[in-house]
Amino acid sequence: MNHNEAHLHITVQSAAYNQGNSARITVNDEEFGFDPYNRGLNVAVIHEVTGQKLGSATFDTFGDPSCAIAFTEWMESLPVGRIVAIALKDEGTVYLDERAKNACAALGAYWVYYLQFHSSWAMIGQKGATPGTATEALSDEHGVTCSRSFTLPSIFANTAAISATSAAGEYGFLTHISRNGYVIPIKGGYQRGLNVVVFEPATGKPVLSGSFDFFADASVADVFAQQIEAIPDGKIVAIALKDDASINLSQAAKDACRAIGSRLIDELQFRGAWSIVGYKGASPDAVIENLNNSGFTSVKAWMPLVIPCPTWQPQQKLQPPDLPEKGIFGSAIAMSGETAIIGARLAQVNGCPAVGSAYIFQHHNGVWTEKQKLQPSGFGHQDVFGNAVAIQGNLAIVGAYLTDSPDRPNTGSAYIFQPENGVWVEKQKLQPADLQANDCFGSAVAMGDNFAIVGAYTVDAESRPEAGSAYIFQLENGVWVEKQKLQPADLQRGDGFGGAVAISGETAIIGARLAKADGGQFAGSAYVFQLENGVWQQKQKLQPADLQYGDNFGNAIALSGEFAIIGAYGVDAQRYPDTGAAYIFQHENGVWQQKQKLQPTDLQRRHGFGCSVAIQGQVAVVGTSDAGSAYIFQLNQGTWQHKQKLYSPEVQPKDGFGYTVALSDGVVITGAHNADAQGRPYAGSAYIAFANET
């Protein structure tokens, strides 16, 4: 693969009403970004050259025939080669007519013609493909999953995600337009009629907004038409309908909608819902549009930006009111889309010390709110539940690496949680059959598409005590099944393999921070595994050439598509010991190549840069253990450049700000696990920062 190639691994999950009633689409293990998945066809469109997300929408082909028209028009407008993923949720066959099925066949689908009432169906195809060449899964009895990988000639672009949600009648309060998850305010609020926001195409910044109520005053339709006509070509225009906009919708107003690329405005009926993200002067094949004349609609479009890098702004401090002293909330953090999970591994529960807990936070309208406190069933003294956390969509895994088993102390465990009716419920406790005392299973966790990896860094390996191991679990028919134990043959005593784990698609990287290298003991290493024919095979051992004694390379790992970032918090810098470093690796021509060593110039002795890492797309975050900061890096013309240093003025030197970091969709969460909370020492806290592309 050349430097400008990108890998896409797409996974689609579908479950009809009687088989789980769910849908999910991920790209490189990251949620595509639906708001939310709904009944019918959930459709995601991706550019076949850049790999850029282009749009998503759900079409309720069970509830309203206009949804089938909207779906078909969009599919027919797509250019040849465009990548399309479809996940059916609940039911979607009632109004899925022959024209709509033919539109699916034009993506390479075949099984769409065999859909039955309440079938589960998942599909990944490309416009213009021969019927039968798409990747599909169909069942009338259970949920289905399909996956497909693409190698593309370019890398991902910077984008802004613009959403428009429309709702008629009593559900009009749901109407809004957002950018990167944050609702754009309109003066006077979102009103009946058409709510419009205009964005600058280069930056994605909103520049104009307004509401137009045709129902109350017919002359407003002409005002709307005039204002759309005055917008310069190329400006992004998002429209969300509230309550009704069909009454007094003049021909001039319809022409204005067509001027931003609308194909469906003539189909709008009384109290119908219509959403569009287009741009002035657009052709109909270049917009995302949806229509439902008896429900609500939501569309999301990813617009390419030309800005070099956002400024990351502090937004919110997270600190649950029930935190006990010495709970060290923030000692583990993970995030997926609009949901975050944060561990407090030493939290006291019912007078029992160090049981641990984890907290779920949800983002809505610019605010992160605590939704639930997680604690496992049958918890025990010093289990340290929450020492490691991971989340992927609606699945979370929490480590408790000091859990006891009968007659075997500190074997460890990991717990799977999943929301049911809005409440996160413990679904399963994971413990491999071969666990022994003091194995510390659950010391690290990672979650991918239907796979989970759990580290156990003190497991023995054939007369090599505490060499470490990692275990692969796979979700099969709703149950997590142990599939494989990973333990490289060259592991030595005390390597600590499994102390850090990461997964993306069919690739996993596992750290052994205490492994020996040519430069000395405790230099560290990391191992790459690839899923091949159902078996995870070791493919490569990563060890930078400059490793020295005590560098601890592999103490933290993050993986996103073709890029990996690996921390080494013990690396020296000139005369300063243990300043730390992080290494960027890129997958090229089947091999992971070291591309860059990250080490900011302001680091001092024992700052521990690299103790935590996160990466998504072209942005990476690296935390410090003892500097009270985290650093933002961005890929620019092949080089990862330091862009910003994150810190909080209220944080004290001992608070550990930067000890943990998480990154998702333009949001960074940084843990400060030793922070005090209203007189409770070491209760812990976490801080939100968001990308502000101004």
- φ, ψ for residue 75, nearest 5 deg: -60, -40
Which residues of the chain fall short of a pLDDT of 70?
1-6, 153-158, 284-285, 305-310, 693-694
- The DSSP H or E segment spanning 524 is none
Give the tokens for residue 619.
């942005």
Q: Which of 266, 207, 204, 278 is nearest to 240 (CA)?
A: 278
Q: Are residues 357 and 373 in contact, defined by beta-carbon separation less than 8 angstroms?
A: yes
Which amino acid belongs to residue 50?
T
Tokens 């419920």, residue located = 425
Mention every residue, 6+ apart, whose C-beta is less than 8 A from residue 685. Answer: 317, 318, 319, 329, 330, 655, 671, 672, 675, 677
3-state secondary structure of 70: helix
Q: Which residue has the tokens 């067509």?
A: 258
Other C-beta atoms lying within 10 Å of the C-beta of residue 580 = 31
Rounded Cα distance between 60 and 74, Å, is: 14
> Could you tell me the maximum CA-CA distance found in the chain, to the nearest angstrom?
85
Could you give the residue ranges of the DSSP H alpha helices within 149-250?
Answer: 219-230
Question: Which SS3 state, helix, strand or coil, does residue 309 take?
Answer: coil
Residues of the chain with CATH 2.130.10.130: 326-692
Contact predicate 161/150, CB 8 Å: no
Measured CA to CA, the distance from residue 352 to residue 375 in angstroms comes to 13
For residue 309, the model assigns a pLDDT of 57
Residue type, 142: H
Please return the burial class of 348, using the count of CB atoms within 10 Å of its CB with bins 0-12, 13-18 and 19+: middle
Residue 85: CA atoms inside 13 Å, Cβ hemisphere, count?
A: 31
Annotation: CATH topology of 326-692: Methylamine Dehydrogenase; Chain H (2.130.10)
Closest to 22 measured CA to CA, from 68, 69, 58, 65 = 58
pLDDT of residue 3: 39
> What is the Cα–Cα distance from 370 to 347, expressed in whole angstroms?
17
Per-residue pLDDT at 100:
98
Tokens representing 113? 């013609």
Q: How far apart (Å, rounded) are the C-alpha atoms in residues 379 and 366?
A: 35
Spatial separation of the C-alpha atoms in residues 166 and 284, rounded to whole Å:
20
pLDDT score recorded for residue 305: 64
CA atoms within 13 A on the CB side of 487: 19
* Percentages (nearest 5) of helix, strand, coil residues in the chain: 10, 50, 40
pTM: 0.68
Asked whether 95 and 62 are in contact (CB, 8 A), the reply is yes
Contacts of 173 (CB under 8 A, 6+ apart): 167
DSSP-based three-state secondary structure for 570: coil
Q: How many helices and strands in the chain, by DSSP H and E?
A: 4, 46
Helix (H) or strand (E) holding 454: strand 451-456
Q: Strands, DSSP E only, in 518-589?
A: 525-532, 535-542, 553-560, 563-568, 581-588
Buried b (16+ CB within 10 A) or exposed e, 624-657: bbbbbbbbbbbbeeeebebbbebbbeebeeebbb
- List of E strands, 487-533: 500-504, 507-512, 525-532
Rg (CA), the chain: 26
CA dihedral sign, ordered 128, 133, 138, 144: negative
The 3-state secondary structure of 356-389, one letter per residue = EEEEEEEEECCEEEEEEEECCCCCCCCCCECCEE
* Cα–Cα dist 446/478, whole Å: 18
Rounded to 5 degrees, what are φ and ψ at 203? Answer: -115, -15
DSSP 653: G
Give the Cα separation of 226 and 235 in Å (integer): 15
Cβ count near 43 (within 10 Å)? 24
| Other residues' Cβ atoms within 10 Å of the Cβ of residue 306 | 10
